[in-house]
Structures are given as C-alpha cells and as structure tokens.
Amino acid sequence: MSKANLLCRAFVVVCLLQAASAQQTSYHITPLHPVDQLREQALKLQPPRESGDFLPTDLVELTHIDPALKLDIRYATANNFLGTPLYTQARAFLQRPAAEAVARADSELHALGYGVIIHDGYRPWYVTKIFWNATPNNQKQFVADPKAGSRHNRGCAIDLSLFDLKTGQEVAMPSGYDEMTDHAYANYSGGTEHERHRRAILRAAMVKQGFEINPTEWWHFDYKDWRKYPIGNQRFEDIKP
C-alpha cells in the first residue's frame, strides 16, 4: 500500500474517532450559580403540593425489567450540561407500566439492528430545581419549571437514544444529548439523512408503545399516563428494589 493511501486511511480513522468523541460529549453551559450551592439549597426545599387521586408510585429499575438496555447516565458523571455529577448512582427508574413499554420498544428495535441506550429516567424534584436555577433565562425552554414539577419527577419521562447492536456504539443523531439549540428539536430538518432516519426510527418505536415526543428534545419521551402519578423527590439510594 502506498504512503499516500496509508495517510488517507489514517486521516479517515482520526475523523471517525473525533466524530465519536464529539457525540459522546455533552453540551455544556456556564451555570448561573455554583452547582454545589444550588444543591444545598434545593435539598432543603420540598416539591410543590398537589391535590388529586394519584396512583401509588411503583418505580422500578429499568435494567431489571430489560437487562439488554444500555445505560449512560450522564447526570451521575461530569459529562452533562452542568459539568458536575448530580446523581450519586448511575441508575435509571420509571413507573412500572412505562418501564415495561420501554422494554417492548427495545425489543422491536433489536429487529432493526438497534438497542436502546438510557441517559435518564426518573429524576428527583430537587435536581429539577437545580437545573432551573442554574440555567440562563434564554435557555429555560430546555428545562422544566420546578413550580409545576416535571414528568421526569413523576417517573414517566425518559431520555434515550439508540446504539448499534453490532458495534455497541451510540449512533449519531441531529444533535447531541441535552444540546440546548434548535438542532435538538424533534422536527429539526438539519443534520444528515441517516441521522434524521435514526431519529425517526426511535420516535416511531416509542410512540407505538404509548410515549409522546418532547418537541424541543428528540431524546425526551413522556409516557401517556404521566398525569396519574405524583411528583417524586426520592434519591436513588432510597428507592427499594
């Protein structure tokens, strides 16, 4: 093989590695206040009071329902939009019917050569409070207002993407996870044809199982019965199997 061909191949490999690295690195903002300070404040507060006849909370660990699911819980690491860990454990929970629906979607996606990779599920309310107080006003459309609680707090929202079953690698989408730009919109027309196609495959599988897409986040899906569950504030370590 000629030296020119070797150099060309080396260049392609470097480009592919850079693309993979970029896909795995979360979008980042500069928090309005130090996250440690916001965490201390949020842990002293209580979620908003609600009235209604809610179903009992039944949070289950997603990997117990479907061991084939892959986890990449960004909020348990510094690889998230705030650049610091928010969770003490890299785990994902949902209300049982929602968890079972994700497992069904994952099973169907396997036939297409993809698996589901989970970035977040149930989120304690105090973390939503941190997100809100840390995010600049011009980007608050990407975070939930803690005054109403979020669907993540109810255990009925999930952030997820696809990975290739052959390589085990997360696939590229029109934006990265938690990217606070219009590239993250569910109907964003940019990106490549393959990226949009994979986004559509994920969306179709989730909608079929009773989820609705968040219009500003292609990775965020809400389970149809989210209104039936109360806002939760349990830390992961306090959730019993």
Cα(197)–Cα(213) distance, integer angstroms: 16
> 6: burial class by Cβ within 10 Å (0-12, 13-18, 19+)?
exposed
Residue 39 neighbours by CB under 8 Å, 6+ apart: 86, 126, 130
DSSP β-bridge partners for residue 61: 93
Domains of the chain: 26-238 (3.30.1380.10)
pLDDT tens digit sequence for 63-122: 999 999 999 999 999 999 999 999 999 999 999 999 999 999 999 999 999 999 999 999
Q: Which pTM value belongs to this model?
A: 0.88
pLDDT tens digit sequence for 47-65: 999 988 999 999 999 999 9
Please give the backbone phi and psi of residue 71, each rounded to the nearest 5 degrees, phi first.
-110, 135
How many other CB atoms sit within 10 Å of the CB of residue 194?
11
